[in-house]
Structure 1
Amino acid sequence: MNEETTEKWFDPDATTFGDRLAGARELANMTQAQLAKRLGVKKKTLEDWENDVRGPRAMRLSMLAGLLNVSLLWLLTGEGDGPGDPSEATSYVRGAHMLLDEIRAISAQMQLNAERLARVEVELHGLLKEDDA
């Protein structure tokens, strides 16, 4: 990103694909080398994308959008779901992690309740046997 677009790097009229890619990468706190490694491409390839020398293929575009937490449409055009305030819990990744955590908590609670139910059932069967005797 150049200094002129630093303030409005997300503006679809003021930025290129490379500007949006670089800005989203920076907001994700990743270096070019880190993102390139996660994508399975060379750092030079990522540099070319950010400098608008060439663009990624469809599969890499989809991976980029997922890794950077933006919509594919935003990455390509600047319209749609771009990166928000990093402190906001609006990201798909953070949202998914929160949902997985909730699923784990519910699952653990269900396991405890199933064990409790089994103990109560055993106790009830014991009481019923006493009544039959």
Structure 2
Amino acid sequence: MRTLPIRLHPSDDLREALAAVLKEHGVEAAFVLSGIGSLSEARIRYAGVNEATLLCGDLEILTLSGSIAPDGLHLHMTVSDARGAVIGGHVAPGCTIRTTAEILVALLPDVRFSREPDPQSGWDELVVRGLTPP
């Protein structure tokens, strides 16, 4: 495992930036260990709900974690608004960095992640495989 600290800048898309990490570093599996920062827009899908909710305004990322696979990300976060109200859930596409995001990613060079249909959950779920040495 190798750790990679990342800083995202204003207007960066959180999910797009994290999805690019695998290609940029030549790995097929990674985990977000920690993340803090701010967003101007967050799209969060709450438990048991199919559609994401759009939150706008000055938002602080309190926690961010999840897995990154070549065919998809599974991220969760909590954010607080300007009143200090806290909300969290599944990170959907369309989260825009307001000032910064500081994220620690663990690159896993000996593992391959994929997302495959799981008949029990009804969702594409994480499958972990070891890479065959060359």
Tell me if both proteins adopt one fold, taking TM over 0.5 as the criterion: no
Structure with the higher fraction of residues in helix conformation:
1
What TM-score range do you get, normalising by the shorter chain? under 0.3
Name the structure where strand makes up a greater proportion of residues.
2
Higher relative contact order, structure no. (Cα contacts within 8 Å, ≥ 6 residues apart): 2
Structure ID, larger Rg? 1
